[in-house]
Amino acid sequence: MSWSMTRPVLTTLTAALLAGVSAAPGVSATPGRGGSNVPRSTSQPEPASPSASALPGAGLVRTAAVRAVHLAAPNCATALAPARPVAATPWPQQRYAPDRLAPLATGAGVTVAVVDSGVDRDHPQLGDRVLDGTDLLDDGGDGSRDCAGHGTGVASIIAAAPHPGVAFRGLAPGARILPVRVSEQQVVEGRESGRTVSAGDFARAIRWAVDHGADVLNLSVVLYADEPAVRSAIGYAAARDVVVVAAAGNLHESGDPRPYPAAYDGVLGVGAIAADGARASFSQVGPYLDLVAPGSDVLMAAPGQGHNRAEGTSYAAPFVAATAALLREYRPELTAAQVAERILATADPAPDAERDGGYGVGVLNPYRAVTETGGASGRARAAVALVEEAPDPARAALGARRDAAEERALVLATVGGAAAGVVVLLALVLPRGTRRGWRPADPA
């Protein structure tokens, strides 16, 4: 775990927020087919493994979605494709069975900030779960306008309420969503459009969410450059006991450039798996990856009404953020660091984990994360017990592998830096956008 924006002057939060897209370096995340206002996807990767400085638009805030289709909110310049309700039970829900968790915890009393493209509170499964947030694109906005559909989809994975005739529901339906709108960019058929905020404003968005009561912070965005203001904002959140979850990016086939904020200390970096449990081909691999969750063919709410399917690490991150919300309700005495530790310690073993380092410590298991921590009590329970637990050999081995990976990455970065005399552009990339419509950045 990394746990342990605008372009050169105007770093834009473009593709990172919206589409969970697996885009090539330099392409901001884009909406999936059908179009949607998603931050732009990264551009096509160069033949050689890209370094941060070699990524065109690397300083752009991009969503980590691969494909998606959504219905645009009122007053958006471009209307998104209409979506219909889906009655079938999505595979992530079959895997996690939220009904088993509901008697234990629903995330009640916990606030999850979704720094993204906005969250449409008019969707019947979100409604009063969406608080008044803020809009860094349009003055006076409360974060409830979503012209890309990315933020609404992410929020629904966390907190969508049960609804008659619809099997889909969020993992933590009792949680409150605090929307912070930072982008409306989308990419349709390779063309980017829409506005995004600067890297400085992205950092300001994180601080605003922390100052307005966020207990958990979901960042389904990727920036392929280390921006000091963003790094400082992440430190600000960690210091105030906020659990920070971020998408690990969708550029595996482009050399796995280091994704931020996922690579920062104190952040849970999340990769994606498909329904068969195998790592999604676009999901990045590296020492910044802490664990994986469903991120391929994921069902989610669309702005206004209905549902869409999409893929990208953008959509894997909210499953982890929702689990953090469940834990923060069930064990309110745990610190943010302890919540993250419990999530990692209760992950299920991943297939081919030894051969493929793309799973982190394993696959998210919300039920184990809650039940294996013991019940909540009226008084603080021995948080010290978490610190005094016997060392876990598997985690120790993971740490060793990460250290080795860091050393290899440093050597490669040194060599690559000597070869590339390019100006570093911040690139915040949306891991992968929804798969059937708008996609911030499709995998190359």
Residues with catalytic roles: 116, 150, 314
Which of 152, 171, 151, 149 minimizes the C-alpha distance to 162? Answer: 171
Give exposure, 182-193, as e/b (b: 16+ Cβ within 10 Å): bbbbbbbeeebe
User: Which phi-psi region, left, alpha or beta, contains residue 389 (left: φ > 0; alpha: ψ -120 to 50)?
Assistant: beta
Which residue's entry shows tokens 């996609």? 439
Which of 172, 170, 180, 173 minimizes the C-alpha distance to 132? Answer: 180
Rounded CA-CA distance 117/75 in Å is 14
54 Cβ neighbours under 8 A, 6+ residues apart: 25, 46, 416, 420, 422
- Terminal CA-CA length for the chain: 26
User: Which phi-psi region, left, alpha or beta, contains residue 15 (left: φ > 0; alpha: ψ -120 to 50)?
Assistant: alpha
Which of 71, 167, 165 minimizes the C-alpha distance to 123? Answer: 71
Beta strand segments in 44-137, E: 62-66, 111-116, 134-135
Angle 199-211/228-239 helices, nearest 10 degrees? 10
Structure tokens at 397: 């081995």
Task: Check if the beta carbon of residue 299 is closer than 8 Å to that of residue 275.
Answer: no
Length of the chain: 444
Tell me the DSSP string of 182-206: -B--EEETTEEES-B--HHHHHHHH
C-alpha angle 201/206/210, rounded to 5°? 140
Cis upstream peptide for 228 (omega within 30°) = no
Sequence-ordered alpha helix ranges (H) in 187-287: 199-211, 228-239
296 Cβ neighbours under 8 A, 6+ residues apart: 272, 273, 274, 275, 280, 311, 435
